[in-house]
Structure 1
Amino acid sequence: MLSVMNLSDPADRLLIDHLRRRSAASVSELMDLLGVTATAVRQRLNRLMADGLIGRQLDRPTDGEATGRGRPSYRYSLTERGRSGAGDNYQDLAQAMWQEIRSIPDPAIRAGAVKRVANRLAERYSPSIDGEDLKQRMLEMTRLLGEREVPVELDESSGLPVLTLLACPYPKLAENDRTVCAMEKVLLSEVLGEAVRLSECRLDGGGCCSFTPSRGDRRREPTESLPKVTLSDDLHATDGTAGAVEIVLAEEAVR
């Protein structure tokens, strides 16, 4: 998802920050803000509207104001998408919450918290993943990650499709913490309806993180009806101490 922090144009950031403060603004206000012509402002607004960050409402004159047949007057404001990206401080919040999870002393409780986070993320992704077979679902997952600006490739040369993340979706969290890798494995297993294994990992010196289906394509069934397989991953805390967290994955039955 595009956010203000990802906008490369300083004028875009200035305009959006202004709308955060003012809630809505006219073209003339934005001309003064940016120091450009009305045409330049409208071109910028049209582009940001096409990106889904800004919307507009007809500016109806108040009692006593003159009306005419000229160009309609609009006021521009942030959309829900624009507001969610503006002033994005999610990274700090995510890091703080993740540190709290990692500080839970009981391994079983900690593992349960990690799995619930993965399941919550899976709930957000699953409605967009409805392919009939594993290959189709992995293609849909590739598209979904791409929309979230995560560079990803799908390699089918070995027979089974291999999903490779060319950049970590959680770089700050995953730098020294394998718990994030375990969470990502649970997330992908839940969304794809097939247990996956981490066949290559940056933390092991690999160039990327690759996820491979454990046993080929399976029948998709509700999670609660599937047999449970407990996978134990050696996880390392950020201070370098070793630990083990068991992650319970739902494995689908063979056709």
Structure 2
Amino acid sequence: MQDRTTNRMLYSLKVAGAQTAASLADRLGITAVAVRQMLGRLHEDGLVAYEDSRETVGRPKRFWHLTGEGNGQFPDNHAALTADILASVSAVFGDAGLDRLIAHRETATLDHYRTELAHAGSLEQRVQRLAEIRSAEGYMAEITRDAAGALVLVENHCPICVAARACQKLCRSELDVFQAALGPDVEVRRFEHILKGARRCAYRITEKPGDSGQLAMKL
């Protein structure tokens, strides 16, 4: 059984990505020696791996990151079962039946998000509330801003990743729901995607300039 500090280390690697032992020690408030010992045990267990990078003159720095098995330590919302159910729906009812199922999920999710965002005024407040909802659903979401000052919604974990790999319409569905929930005056673009090999999913969210008109929503 992993102790609390080890779990915090896995969480830090999940949220912040690859790090050196020294940076992990600073984050966790423990010695670099202790961090290296824990990393060694996690490496033996196949939960972390490392890459050496020579950034400047001198010895290369060792950056530690989660392996696939390490990522598997985080909740998956019974994704394997979900993937199996989706495959069964497609086999029994065809693509049209699967599309209807996903559309029903979109509608229910959108209704929930719109209710939760109804009292959030500014765009930042809406995105912050959306991040809170997504975190409660297991996505380890947070908001930040990019170099241009645009809001960025980051999801450090995908609890339905197995199902989404089996049915990528689920990912397209989520992007549509974000767009519809945040409103017609907002543009949502995904620029990092776990299914395309990124460490996380990230969405840049900006207000549309001028009169946005009426967005035709299919939801």
TM-score of the two chains, using structure 2 as the length reference:
0.51
Q: 1:134 deviation in Å?
A: 1.8
Cα 1:132–1:197 shift into 2, 3 Å: same
Cα deviation, 1:157-186, whole Å, max 9, x if unaligned, reads 332211111000312212343222112112
Letter paired with 2:115: P
Identity %: 18
Corresponding position of 1:133: 122
Contact 2:86 2:98 in 1 (8 A): no
- Aligned ranges for residues 34-49 of structure 1 at < 5 Å? none
1:162 aligns with 2:162: no
Q: Which runs of 5+ in 1 are unaligned?
A: 1-7, 9-88, 220-224, 230-247, 250-255
Contact 2:83 2:166 in 1 (8 A): no
Contact 1:119 1:190 in 2 (8 A): no
Q: 1:127 deviation in Å?
A: 1.9
Q: Which runs of 5+ in 2 are unaligned?
A: 5-76
Corresponding position of 1:94: 82
Corresponding position of 1:228: 216
CA–CA separation in structure 2 for the residues paired with 1:97 and 1:123:
24
Q: 1:118 deviation in Å?
A: 1.3
- Aligned ranges for residues 104-143 of structure 1 at < 5 Å? 105-106=94-95, 110-130=98-118, 131-143=120-132
CA–CA separation in structure 2 for the residues paired with 1:138 and 1:228:
21
1:207 aligns with 2:196: no
Structure with greater helix percent: 2
Cα 1:227–1:129 shift into 2, 3 Å: closer
Cα 1:203–1:92 shift into 2, 3 Å: closer
Q: 1:212 deviation in Å?
A: 2.2
Contact 2:80 2:163 in 1 (8 A): no
Letter paired with 1:95: A
Cα 1:92–1:203 shift into 2, 3 Å: closer
TM-score of the two chains, using structure 1 as the length reference:
0.44
Cα 1:91–1:168 shift into 2, 3 Å: closer
Q: 1:143 deviation in Å?
A: 1.5
Contact 1:146 1:152 in 2 (8 A): yes
Q: How many residues align?
A: 138
Corresponding position of 2:41: none
User: Stretches of 4+ moved more than 3 A in 1?
Assistant: 89-97, 100-107, 109-113
1:180 aligned to 151, 170, 181, which one?
170
CA–CA separation in structure 1 for the residues paired with 2:81 and 2:166:
18
Report the aligned-residue RMSD.
3.4
